[in-house]
Amino acid sequence: MEDLQKERCLACEGGIAPLTDKQIEPFLDQLKGWHVSEDGKALHKKFSFKNFYQTMAFVNAVAYIANQENHHPDIQVSYNFCVIDYTTHAIGGLSRNDFICAAKIDTLIAD
């Protein structure tokens, strides 16, 4: 399987089908703790931190990745956690880009 962390997002203007459950499974296996929503249209993960400073540092790093890949998540920020949701709005579901960005975000957190 390809290393998603080394890939780049490709522009998606629609006109393609969202990934199927069968296509999602091998990508999801490469991620740490991400979940697909019940409707299969979004990729979701909650990240916890010790304080607001660590949370915001992480959010800023996520913003950098999103801008580099030109693929932006929905982010919910609180004092000691943030929630990242990825979906490809142009196709109304998940694309390879969502998994590429999630894999890159996973590199920000030490095991």
Q: Using one digit for the tens of pLDDT, what is the confidence trace for 59-81? A: 999 999 999 999 999 999 999 99
**Contacts for 96 with CB less than 8 Å, ≥ 6 apart:** 7, 9, 10, 19, 27
pTM score of the predicted model: 0.92
For residue 70, the 8-state DSSP code is T
Q: Using one digit for the tens of pLDDT, what is the confidence trace for 8-49? A: 888 777 788 999 999 999 999 999 999 999 999 999 999 999
Sheet holding 81-86, edge to edge: 35-36, 43-48, 81-86, 74-77
Judge: domain 35-111, CATH 3.30.1360.20. Answer: yes
